[in-house]
């Protein structure tokens, strides 16, 4: 059950932890740490906590995700998907509420992994994933405009509509200096990759704009651009001792919903990242172990005062592209961030708030998958409806409501499609050359195709009500029925009872293993007799014709 990838590598492939391969992992870990640095700080501030909290999350959670996770190359830490959720939890329950919610989420993730639900999470439909990912991107974008535009609005609403209302009301307070710095940061972040792919554009943007603002402010120019230092005076490079928050004033039951939200989102995002990583490396992750590792990482992060964490697709991809192939790279990334935090944290005070907002604006735009909207629209309208509802609910309400409604709607539409695929046809012959004179008169043959489940029950019963009561035998051919559920078994029993009242013998032919076992368990074979079940249609026809002949002889005897 508990088999972290690192332990498997140590046991089965120890050669990968030596020589050039180990050096590749160390180099990849150092590069990923540079990528994670500006993002971790920006995500912390956008979540409503101090900058060092983001680094603590990346260090603690990032280490445990690599150390105990189910993927060789997963890089974990704070991600943009959690920003809106964390802001809402802090606003309603405070920092202690966030810590407790994150610990509970970690426990839920561990339980998910132990119960083997890692594979179940993979079944979330693609339109739902696109809908809530894009919704989170749009929401994250809207949260960054306050700092990007230098508006400095206090007590801004956490709701999407309320936030935009505040922006429109305070549009005259836009700080053009902050906008210029922010636009420069966006352009550098977006286009730096054309110059150098190794050094992340976000880090270059952070350095260039920070130095520029520092020089301008020293010369008395653009002194009104807000920096981290002007907003957060107390920034520390220390990691606090682990502690459990005071829960006496918290309503634990009220924290269950946000905890479930964190757990679901962490599970989905981490497994999506792991799937992407598998495609890039050719490896296969252990989804349940990944959930367990994510759970332990979130508990550890919360105990050290950190944020919720999960696998980060962008950082994981950067790890792979730079040569990372074992969990050592992720552990090195965490250690490198710790060193950077000790050495460079005082310099973080100089970073402009609009620069961090610009970095997250680029991140939010990259999260939005509007191209997929057009592709899904071209496939089926039902999938597009699921996509739009999930997207709108994520933006206007919250992620839990979006996933719940999206999943329920997707399931109902799936049931509808599956029920429409179920077919019932009358058969007039077994093959092109083998006709039977009794069919349609004394013998009825109905051939079923598709899964026989509750969604097809109404259609099944409607057809069965049209049976010819003057016939003697009904053959149910189930060659193309892969499975059957209890609802259809009950419908079959009602059909058999109806036939029995009208002196019609029911035979089963060509059952697949699953339907046959289910019918056995429901006692159908015992009630009807084993001789009424046939592996071939020719056997069923032979038996049916025999019954018809015998029936004819009895009728003749009665008449004479």
Query: Does pLDDT of 502 surpass 80?
Result: yes
Of residues 30 and 558, the one with the higher pLDDT is 30
**Rounded mean pLDDT, 26-55:** 94
Query: Does pLDDT of 523 surpass 70?
Result: yes
Tell me whether strands 473-480 and 533-534 are parallel, antiparallel or unpaired: unpaired
Cβ–Cβ < 8 Å for 75, 36: yes
Q: What's the token pair of residue 357? A: 């907002």
CA 106 distance to own-chain centroid = 16
Cβ–Cβ < 8 Å for 48, 90: yes
pLDDT in tens, 116-140: 998 887 778 889 989 988 998 999 9
In the chain, domain spans: 5-411, 423-559
pLDDT in tens, 65-114: 999 999 999 999 999 989 989 998 998 999 999 999 999 999 999 999 99
pLDDT at position 559: 44
pLDDT in tens, 361-374: 999 999 999 999 99
Query: Does pLDDT of 436 surpass 60?
Result: no
**Rounded mean pLDDT, 547-559:** 63
DSSP-assigned letter for residue 485: -
Per cent of the chain over pLDDT 90 is 62
Q: Which residue has the tokens 């991809």?
A: 317
Query: Does pLDDT of 432 surpass 90?
Result: no
Tell me whether strands 443-449 and 76-77 are parallel, antiparallel or unpaired: unpaired
CA 37, CA 341: separation in Å to the nearest integer? Answer: 9
Cβ–Cβ < 8 Å for 315, 273: no
The helix (H) or strand (E) run that includes residue 76 is strand 76-77
Q: Which residue has the tokens 């509509």?
A: 161
Cβ–Cβ < 8 Å for 422, 463: no
- Could you please state the CATH topology (level 3) that the domain comprising 423-559 is classified under: Transcription Regulator spoIIAA (3.30.750)
Cβ–Cβ < 8 Å for 180, 352: no
- Helical H runs in 380-439? 381-396, 399-421
Query: Does pLDDT of 551 surpass 80?
Result: no
The Cβ-side half-sphere exposure at 146, using a 13 Å CA radius, reads 20
pLDDT band at 221 (very low <50, low <70, confident <90, very high): confident
Q: Provide the whole-model pTM.
A: 0.80
Question: Burial, 320: exposed, middle or buried (Cβ in 10 Å; 0-12, 13-18, 19+)?
Answer: buried
pLDDT band at 555 (very low <50, low <70, confident <90, very high): low
pLDDT band at 420 (very low <50, low <70, confident <90, very high): confident
pLDDT at position 415: 85
Query: Does pLDDT of 434 surpass 60?
Result: no
**Rounded mean pLDDT, 209-228:** 91
The helix (H) or strand (E) run that includes residue 509 is strand 505-509
pLDDT band at 428 (very low <50, low <70, confident <90, very high): low
Query: Does pLDDT of 433 surpass 60?
Result: no
């Amino acid at each position: 059950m508990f088999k972290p990838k690192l332990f498997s590598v140590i046991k089965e492939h120890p050669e990968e932890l030596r020589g050039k391969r180990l050096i590749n992992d160390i180099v990849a870990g150092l590069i990923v740490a540079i990528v994670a640095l500006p993002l971790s700080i920006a995500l912390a501030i956008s979540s409503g906590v101090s900058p060092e909290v983001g680094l603590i999350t990346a260090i603690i959670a990032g280490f445990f995700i690599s150390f105990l996770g189910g993927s060789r190359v997963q890089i974990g830490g704070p991600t943009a998907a959690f920003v809106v959720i964390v802001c809402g939890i802090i606003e309603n329950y405070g920092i202690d509420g966030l810590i407790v919610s994150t610990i509970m989420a970690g426990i839920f993730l561990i339980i998910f992994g132990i119960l083997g639900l890692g594979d179940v999470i993979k079944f979330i439909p693609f339109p739902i994933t696109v809908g809530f990912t894009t919704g989170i991107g749009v929401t994250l974008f809207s949260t960054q405009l306050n700092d990007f535009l230098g508006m400095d609005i206090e007590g801004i609403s956490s709701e999407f509509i309320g936030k935009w209302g505040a922006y429109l009301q305070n549009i005259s307070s836009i700080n053009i200096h902050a906008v210029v710095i922010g636009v420069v940061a966006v352009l550098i972040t977006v286009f730096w990759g054309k110059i150098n792919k190794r050094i992340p554009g976000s880090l270059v943007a952070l350095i260039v704009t920070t130095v520029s603002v520092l020089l301008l402010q020293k010369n008395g120019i653009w002194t009104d651009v807000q920096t981290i230092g002007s907003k957060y005076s107390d920034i520390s490079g220390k990691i606090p001792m682990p502690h459990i928050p005071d829960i006496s004033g918290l309503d634990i039951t009220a924290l269950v919903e946000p905890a479930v939200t964190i757990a679901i989102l962490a599970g989905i995002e981490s497994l999506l990242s792991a799937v992407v990583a598998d495609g890039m490396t050719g490896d296969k992750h252990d989804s349940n172990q990944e959930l367990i590792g994510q759970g332990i990482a979130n508990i550890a992060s919360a105990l050290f005062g950190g944020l919720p964490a999960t696998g980060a697709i962008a950082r994981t991809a950067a790890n792979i592209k730079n040569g990372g192939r074992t969990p050592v790279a992720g552990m090195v990334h965490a250690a490198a961030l710790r060193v950077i935090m000790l050495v460079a944290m005082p310099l973080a005070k100089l970073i402009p708030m609009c620069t961090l907002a610009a970095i997250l604006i680029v991140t939010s735009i990259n999260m939005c998958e509007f191209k997929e909207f057009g592709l899904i629209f071209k496939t089926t309208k039902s999938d597009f409806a699921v996509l739009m509802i999930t997207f709108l609910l994520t933006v206007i309400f919250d992620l839990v409501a979006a996933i719940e409604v999206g999943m329920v709607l997707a399931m109902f539409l799936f049931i509808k499609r599956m029920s429409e695929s179920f077919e019932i046809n009358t058969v007039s012959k077994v093959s092109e050359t083998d006709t039977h004179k009794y069919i349609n008169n004394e013998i009825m043959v109905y051939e079923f195709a598709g899964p026989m489940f509750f969604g097809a029950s109404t259609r099944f019963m409607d057809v069965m009500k049209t049976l010819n009561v003057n016939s003697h035998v009904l053959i149910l051919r189930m060659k193309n029925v892969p499975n059957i559920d209890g609802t259809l078994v009950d419908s079959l029993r009602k059909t058999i009872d109806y036939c029995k009242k009208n002196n019609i013998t029911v035979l089963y032919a060509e059952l697949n293993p699953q339907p046959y076992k289910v019918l056995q368990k429901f006692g159908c074979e015992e009630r009807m007799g084993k001789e009424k079940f046939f592996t071939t249609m020719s056997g069923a026809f032979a038996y049916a014709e025999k019954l018809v002949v015998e029936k004819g002889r009895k009728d003749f005897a009665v008449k004479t």
